[in-house]
Structure 1
Amino acid sequence: MFGNSKIFRLALLALSVLLAGNLSAQTVKGTVKDSGGEPVIGATVQEQGTKNVAVTDLDGNFTIKLTGDNPLQISYIGMKTTTVSTKGKTTVAVTLEDEATALDDLVVIGYGSVRKRDLTGAVTSVNAEQIGNTPVANVSEALTGKMAGVNITTTEGSPDADVKIRVRGGGSLSQDNSPLYIVDGFPVESISDISPSEIESIDVLKDASSTAIYGARGANGVIIVTTKSGHEGKPQVNFNASHGWKKVTKLIDVMDPYNYAYYQYELGTAGTSSTTSDYGNYDDLEIWKSVEGNDWQDQMFGRTGQQNMYNVNVSGGSKDLKYNIGYSHTDEESIMVGSGYSKNNVNAKLNAKLT
């Protein structure tokens, strides 16, 4: 009886060891695809907590022998890492989603986006917050003083004057030195008609290595503008308004009629024996004290200019459809009498996944 009991216990022990061995040698097969249903080649499949790793083949398939009930961790560059439970499973199907990149962590360089710490070319960036803190009607004015090596000048004093941008100075005496403007991937002639409130980021490519993708057109630098896009979620409405004043800080001091006539009298009689000048006899200078003068500077530039800016933005969307619609209005009454500026901007951006 004792011998039979001992044999029974030994049999149970052997069976448990056999089952444990089968459990530890569990084999799991699976397929890894992206959100579009295409196989992901070279994705890393790792048993969590161990160094047991497999890689997907050309069809996105993999086979891995597990050492326990640990879940699988599937990862791939540019996609979100996914964890899958393997308990009681021999096959799994995994779909990896694209990982959204934030513009404030990346720099747009024409042929993609890279992190600033990995970038070797000369690139300067300005984000939406820096642009929005400057209440100006023109995007170019918002960049003034914010980028090293980028010179921004106004062609004239009118409020709607064109703004010239030069990246690291001019390279030609006879040809145009303007940089190449790229807005959301499309080349444009100017960025003056874009509302500052609709800009997400501005990246300036300043050297040959970063502008090589554009060839000769990028010889004077490339300014890449990325406008705001809608994001998945509930509709969001943003409204901003600002009011500002403009006034001349310093005018040139001028003479009144009496002092001006006296000055001209001295100029006209210097070095001569004549007792008269272009302004009459010396005894008649007192007449100019009663003449009322005009300060033309004050009459032309003495007005206090006012600037009103309003913008409203509606954005939102779903997984397959994202939208961003914006409207901005700028109304400026400048310092010079008869000078003013009014502009309306409407911007609509739609990202749709049709199929």
Structure 2
Amino acid sequence: MNEKGLKRKATIGLLLLFLFSLGLTAQERTIRGVVKDSYGDPIIGANVMVKGTNIGAATDMNGNYTLTVPPSATTLQVSYIGMKDTEVSITGNVINITMEEDVSSLDEVVVIGYGTMRKRDLTGSVSSVSAETLAAVPVASAVEAITGKMAGVQVLTTEGSPDAEMWIRVRGGGSITQSNDPLFIVDGFPVSTISDIPPTDIESIDVLKDASSTAIYGSRGANGVVIVTTKSGQAGKLRLSYNAYFGVKKIAKTLDVLSPYDYATWQYELAALKGSNAIENYNSFFGNYQDLDLYRNVPYNDWQDLTFGRPGSSMNHSLSLNGGSERMTYAFNFSHLSDKAIMEDSDYKRNSMSLKLNNKATDRITLDFSVRYTDTKINGGGANDATSTLDTDKRLKYSVIYTPIPLKNLDASAGSADDDLGNLYN
């Protein structure tokens, strides 16, 4: 009797467990549908996800999808490049979804040679950088700020001096004998460079790259056109803005140089290859070969570190005033940049002021006034001397070939080149 009762209970338990499993399985359901765009065309590869879970599927060639969703699922999320993300409620087993185009980026206004135009209506090749992008990069000039942000636009540094000119190449160089510099236009006027314009004073930079966009400028625009639009005043109350940043820099990599002992040994080996006369000359400078151990652990000059080893710094201040009425607006900007290079006695300071007035005389006549003043002071140079008629890399070269043996009376009391009254060498 007991055995029969146990068997009956086990059978009933297994049956209840089986029915419970069937109930759980029955609660899950399959949802299918089609994802289309606003024109009724199927979207291939759209991601359909159950909100709050990792359950999802991609649409096939006909825009169809199939999902097995849990009973707690209430919403589907659909995403696709170029379309707005869409959420739909789960109301049945068949859910068809229509997605809308994301046209917000197409309504952006860009500056071209003969005015402004929305990107959706533009047929030429134009790249743009906004004021927000420029302000987010703490650099000395607007040219540095656009580095790597425009397709087909390459920015190069001519040499390492603090005020080194930045080269801009639009779709590479087109000539091997003539200039490949693009045409610079600032507020409608051609200029020779834009390196002296503070990034905080720029509203946008547009680069015209193809023939249709640059045709209005003729042959001057053959290498591309860089159009800079500076900030204008806005009607309303006076707005005061202050922006500052501070940065430090140091040399990234140095070359290995010889110690005094290695240098004296190398000089002896060189003299031995040249003959007995060279050996006698060597002894007059370095002494006998048997005394080379005297050069071990002696203080020496690492000219590379003395020339390029100091930490550099960069400090920038920018103050702007903006305001006006419906008829007249004004914008004033003052910027101060102080850049201390890593090379001794090398620094760069720039003070820049700009004033822009816009007066709407009538509904058809607008009077614009703009003035800019820049004062630049440059000390020293870079690792290369591009204007030299001899060695174009003499500063860096000499820093590693000078003898490391200490100079006479060189000690800590000699001071450093950063001191107003001191000098590294007496």
TM-score, scaled to structure 1:
0.67
Match of 1:248 in 2: 251
Distance 1:103 1:202 in 2: 17
Asked whether 1:131 is paired with 2:134, we answer yes
RMSD: 2.3
How much has 1:138 moved relative to structure 2?
1.6
Asked whether 1:298 is paired with 2:301, we answer no
1:148 aligns with one of 131, 147, 151 = 151
CA shift digits 1:251-308 (9 cap, x unpaired): 1111110012122323433597999576444312112226432100111111111111
Match of 2:316 in 1: 309
Match of 1:162 in 2: 165
How much has 1:133 moved relative to structure 2?
1.4
Moved more, 277-286 or 148-157: 277-286
Q: Is the 8 A contact 1:106 1:113 kept in 2?
A: yes
Match of 2:118 in 1: 115
Listed as ranges, the gaps of 5+ residues in structure 1 are 1-101
Match of 1:53 in 2: none
Asked whether 1:211 is paired with 2:214, we answer yes
CA shift digits 1:146-171 (9 cap, x unpaired): 11211211222111121111111221
Aligned residue identity for 1:293? Y
Aligned residue identity for 2:178? Q
Q: Is the 8 A contact 1:103 1:201 kept in 2?
A: no
Match of 1:262 in 2: 265
Q: Is the 8 A contact 2:106 2:118 kept in 1?
A: no
Judged with a 3 Å threshold, the aligned counterparts in structure 2 of structure 1 residues 304 and 333 are, in CA distance, closer, same or farther, namely same
Distance 1:117 1:349 in 2: 30
Q: Kindly tell me the number of residue pairs found equivalent between the two proteins.
A: 254
Q: Is the 8 A contact 2:107 2:120 kept in 1?
A: no
How much has 1:173 moved relative to structure 2?
1.9
1:284 aligns with one of 284, 291, 301 = 291
How much has 1:206 moved relative to structure 2?
0.6
Distance 1:174 1:167 in 2: 17
1:318 aligns with one of 310, 313, 325 = 325
CA shift digits 1:197-222 (9 cap, x unpaired): 10010000011011111111110100
Partner of 1:130, secondary structure, is helix
CA shift digits 1:69-123 (9 cap, x unpaired): xxxxxxxxxxxxxxxxxxxxxxxxxxxxxxxxx9982111111211223222111
Q: Is the 8 A contact 2:106 2:120 kept in 1?
A: no
Match of 1:17 in 2: none
Distance 1:275 1:335 in 2: 39
Distance 1:159 1:251 in 2: 20
Judged with a 3 Å threshold, the aligned counterparts in structure 2 of structure 1 residues 150 and 240 are, in CA distance, closer, same or farther, namely same
TM-score, scaled to structure 2:
0.56
Q: Is the 8 A contact 2:338 2:348 kept in 1?
A: yes
Match of 1:353 in 2: 360
Judged with a 3 Å threshold, the aligned counterparts in structure 2 of structure 1 residues 187 and 103 are, in CA distance, closer, same or farther, namely farther
Match of 1:201 in 2: 204
Q: Is the 8 A contact 1:265 1:278 kept in 2?
A: no
Distance 1:275 1:190 in 2: 55
Judged with a 3 Å threshold, the aligned counterparts in structure 2 of structure 1 residues 325 and 271 are, in CA distance, closer, same or farther, namely closer
Partner of 2:203, secondary structure, is strand
Distance 2:291 2:228 in 1: 68
Aligned residue identity for 1:307? S
Aligned residue identity for 1:337? E
CA shift digits 1:169-203 (9 cap, x unpaired): 22122222111111111111111221111001000
Distance 1:212 1:205 in 2: 10
Distance 2:181 2:149 in 1: 18
Runs ≥4 residues deviating over 4 A: 270-278
Judged with a 3 Å threshold, the aligned counterparts in structure 2 of structure 1 residues 234 and 201 are, in CA distance, closer, same or farther, namely same
Match of 1:191 in 2: 194
